Structure 1
Amino acid sequence: MTHPPQVRSAPHPAPGPAPAPARPPGGPVAEAGSRLRAAVTTEPGRLRLIGAVLAALVVAFGAVTALEVSDRAAAAEDVVSGSQPLSADAASVYRSLADADTAASSGFLAGAVKEPASVRERYEKDIALASELLIKAATNTEGSSESGRQIATLNKELPVYTGRIEAARAHNRQGLPLGGAYLRFANEQMTKVLLPAAQKLYDAETARLHQDDEEASRWPVLSVAVGLAALGALLWAQRRTYLRTNRVFNHGLLATTAATTAALLWLTVGHTLARDGLTEAREHGQRSLEVLNDSRISSLKARANENLVLVARGAVLTDDGKSDKYETEYGAGMAELGKGLDRAGKLADDDGARALVAAAGAGVREWRDRHQEVSSTDRAGNYEGAVRKVIGAEGSTGESFDTVDKALEKALAHEQSEFTRAARDGRDALGGLPAGAAVLGLLGAVGAILGINRRLSEYR
């Protein structure tokens, strides 16, 4: 019996660790590039990339909107509660100083014994109000700013002015003509130092108001651009899904699109309403306030100069030496007052404002007519009669001035309320938008991720 030859088989290799997969040549950078190519060349990889981009765009839209609108809302709040009240206070400082000068000249003209208590009280009230408002302004202003410098000037010079007024009163009580000189020195300090400083303070605060208003009204261009980019990317992604799967809706992407659209509409409508409110406040409130403030200041200056015409008795002439200085300045002030009331009438946008401006205009016409009578009486040598026609209780130019001043005061209060109402409406239109945009952005990002994950699950 024949047997097949015995053949010894090769020994089996000892078990060991599996060999490591071959790495592509080029190291970690090449490996990362290979993975990136795999991500963009396979449908699951593309979906993951699309989901990441969509989520990033929606979150960026929410974040940018929250930041930009927060800046606009802060500026609008400054308009309502910061710069506009400070501008109004600066205007009140100017008016108080000018009115104090007018009251001082009226009291001096009446004489130390006959000076009405109401005139003295008005002067003291004006000085106290100006001092109080300067303290308030100083607490809200940097000392190195233009406003800070003007506040320092006013605080330094106001005691000098009040000292001269008291010196004028003291000499007037003794019947000394030196009192008139002190009053003229005080008036010169008021017109050349105090009022110019108050005007610069008002100009600085008004410029600050305009800057805040411009910042609050500026369109959030970056937010709108990012929102449109996110919305366009979402629409493209959904169209791509439809073309590849014939499925009309992806619930996650649809929810993200709805959230993005809502945030974009909220941003557009909210900022449009804010701009409209701030524009109304600026056009029909702040401009009217500026014109009315200027008009009231012109009336105060004219009244002070009218009083000084009789105090100086022709002793102070214009630079050319041909005319009475105070009479000339009275005429210039009344001319400015008339022009200001014409502008205020054109800016008035409701019957209440127009009626108040018209009342002031009627008072100005009456004032001019009565001043002509004062001039005629004074030229006729009846000085006491002229004084009575200026500071008397009835039928005097002082009565006409009070009519004008009260009408302008009411008109200012009316326009201030209109400004505040419109500016608050503009500010409130932005309320909740920063937080709402941030929340909608996060919800949109979650929706995008869920929508893409739903598509990825179909490949598992």
Structure 2
Amino acid sequence: MPAPDEGRGKAWREGAERLRRAARTEPGRLRLIGAALALAVVVFGAVTAWQGSDRYASADDVVGRGQTVKDTADLYGALADADTQAATGFLAGPTEPSDVQSAYRGDIARAATLLSGLAENVAPGSHSAALIARINGRLPVYTGLIERARAANRRDLPLGGAYLRYANERMAGTDGILPAAEDLYTEQSARLNAESGSARTWPRAAVALGILALLLLAAAQYRNYRMTNRVFNRGMLSATVACTAVLLWLVAAQTAGDIGLHRADRDGQQSLVVLNDARVNALKARADENLTLISRGSVVAADGRTDLYEVDFGAKTAKLWADLEGARGLADDAAGRTPVLAAIDAVATWRERHAAGSRASAAGEFARAREEVNGRGQTSEQAFARVNTALATAIAHEQDEFTASAKNGRGALAWLWLGAAVLAVLAAVSAILGVGRRLSEYR
């Protein structure tokens, strides 16, 4: 009994010998040509279907991930606005305005809803899931501190300000809730960029195999012409047409998909990144402005003299201004540019009114300073509201542009995989039938 390796070697030798014998006759050569053409076409179709399906899945992820990124940005906005509303209500005195209290509760409820939705859309055990769990665990602690601050404020106890500052530290401190929300947004944005890049990667293997299949079909038809003096073989011509259709469909679909996803990134996502940063800095600056009045200079910066929250307000509004200038440059139409210009104008007004409040506070006129910041009429609060409204309008416009372009890119790739599979099978069958017609002449 021969050894297994000897048996396999003998089988290979016998197979090679049969191929050599077949290649010595024209029918044998035709069978080999038919098999090679069918194999080339099927491999081309299979790779095209695989890569087309992969690109479509990535484009579909871009559309879905865009919503997830929006939700993470909204989560940060809701949390930061809740912190701002808590400070605004505290400054109003023992009787907190009902609209401010309602806004705070609405922000907390919205944050809880967004956290629940995000938890369902991230992979269990991932870093994003850990960030969501961290926010979920710390949010009740923060709201508890806010309620303690309110209770103390209603009794006109100085301890209320300390509770509020401590709550703000839990929200915005280095290891707080907002940094976790910001990390979540950054991570989801990075995944969106990666998925967009994957969807826009050209299927070079499929294109190369398509060109190879067409070259083999052309060579087979040229050989047929030389052997028979017949210009066309219907089977091989049909296979050539089908392969050409798949290759052109592949190139057209990938080009259209790339254009749509590129527009989604250029006209939507890039602007959204800058606008979301602007919203974050606006909310942080507003919280710092309120805390400046609450602390009354009790929290100092590193120099030991300057109010820490005043320094932070200046830094945040400077970043806000830079973000808005960047957003103005990225806006590609009037609908996106107009709200950005309105926000820039409102920031300039906000700075002026904040400066007036700071001068009053420095002069020891706390009541007037509070009126300049959170009173009625032309105040910092009113200017901030204009900034916030303008940013919300700009973000909504850019989000719509992103979603529409991403869906267009996804739509271009929708049926490529199925079309490639069907046409490749038809091409393989046509090539075999074309070769079979020549074989029939030898019977």
> Which of the five TM-score ranges fits, normalised by the shorter chain?
over 0.9
Alignment of 1:275-286 (within 5 A): 275-286=258-269
CA–CA separation in structure 1 for the residues paired with 2:404 and 2:357: 44
Task: Report the equivalent of 1:91.
Answer: 73
CA–CA separation in structure 2 for the residues paired with 1:27 and 1:104: 85
Amino acid at match of 1:245: T
Alignment of 1:138-287 (within 5 A): 138-192=119-173, 193-287=176-270
Is the 2:66–2:403 Cα contact (8 Å) retained in structure 1? Answer: no
| Structure 1 position 112 matched with structure 2 position 94 | yes
CA–CA separation in structure 1 for the residues paired with 2:346 and 2:214: 62
Structure 1 32/361 Cα, relative in aligned 2: closer, same or farther at 3 Å? closer
Structure 1 179/27 Cα, relative in aligned 2: closer, same or farther at 3 Å? closer
Q: Unpaired runs of 5+ in structure 1?
A: 1-25
Amino acid at match of 2:323: G
Query: Shift of the alpha carbon at 1:28?
Result: 7.4
Structure 1 28/386 Cα, relative in aligned 2: closer, same or farther at 3 Å? closer
| Structure 1 position 401 matched with structure 2 position 384 | yes
| Structure 1 position 441 matched with structure 2 position 431 | no
Deviations 1:313-360 (A, max 9, x none): 111101221210010000001000000001101110011101110000
Deviations 1:111-141 (A, max 9, x none): 121x221111111111111111111111222
Question: Which has the larger Rg?
Answer: 1
Deviations 1:81-119 (A, max 9, x none): 2x2211111111111111111111011011121x22111
CA–CA separation in structure 1 for the residues paired with 2:11 and 2:183: 68
More displaced 10-residue stretch of structure 1: 422-431 or 365-374: 365-374
| Structure 1 position 335 matched with structure 2 position 324 | no
CA–CA separation in structure 2 for the residues paired with 1:30 and 1:266: 42
Aligned residues: 433
Task: Report the equivalent of 1:37.
Answer: 20
Structure 1 30/213 Cα, relative in aligned 2: closer, same or farther at 3 Å? closer
Structure 1 386/39 Cα, relative in aligned 2: closer, same or farther at 3 Å? same
CA–CA separation in structure 2 for the residues paired with 1:27 and 1:279: 56
Task: Report the equivalent of 2:337.
Answer: 354
Query: Shift of the alpha carbon at 1:153?
Result: 0.9
CA–CA separation in structure 2 for the residues paired with 1:457 and 1:359: 79
Query: Shift of the alpha carbon at 1:27?
Result: 8.6
Is the 2:38–2:432 Cα contact (8 Å) retained in structure 1? Answer: yes
CA–CA separation in structure 1 for the residues paired with 2:335 and 2:97: 33
Task: Report the equivalent of 2:6.
Answer: none
CA–CA separation in structure 1 for the residues paired with 2:409 and 2:17: 55
| Structure 1 position 103 matched with structure 2 position 81 | no
| Structure 1 position 127 matched with structure 2 position 108 | yes
Secondary structure of the residue aligned to 2:125 is coil
| Structure 1 position 63 matched with structure 2 position 46 | yes
Secondary structure of the residue aligned to 1:158 is helix
More displaced 10-residue stretch of structure 1: 432-441 or 88-97: 88-97
Query: Shift of the alpha carbon at 1:377?
Result: 2.0
Query: Shift of the alpha carbon at 1:38?
Result: 2.4
Query: Runs ≥4 in structure 1, deviation > 4 angstroms?
Result: 26-34
Structure 1 112/452 Cα, relative in aligned 2: closer, same or farther at 3 Å? same
With the length of structure 2 as denominator, give the TM-score of the two structures.
0.95
Structure 1 27/442 Cα, relative in aligned 2: closer, same or farther at 3 Å? closer
Query: Shift of the alpha carbon at 1:29?
Result: 6.9
Query: Shift of the alpha carbon at 1:189?
Result: 1.1
Query: Shift of the alpha carbon at 1:380?
Result: 2.7
| Structure 1 position 363 matched with structure 2 position 346 | yes
Structure 1 34/161 Cα, relative in aligned 2: closer, same or farther at 3 Å? closer
RMSD (Å) for aligned C-alpha atoms: 1.4
Structure 1 106/33 Cα, relative in aligned 2: closer, same or farther at 3 Å? closer
Deviations 1:399-429 (A, max 9, x none): 0000000000010000000000000000000
Q: Unpaired runs of 5+ in structure 2?
A: 1-8
Percent same amino acid among aligned pairs? Answer: 52
More displaced 10-residue stretch of structure 1: 381-390 or 184-193: 381-390
With the length of structure 1 as denominator, give the TM-score of the two structures.
0.92
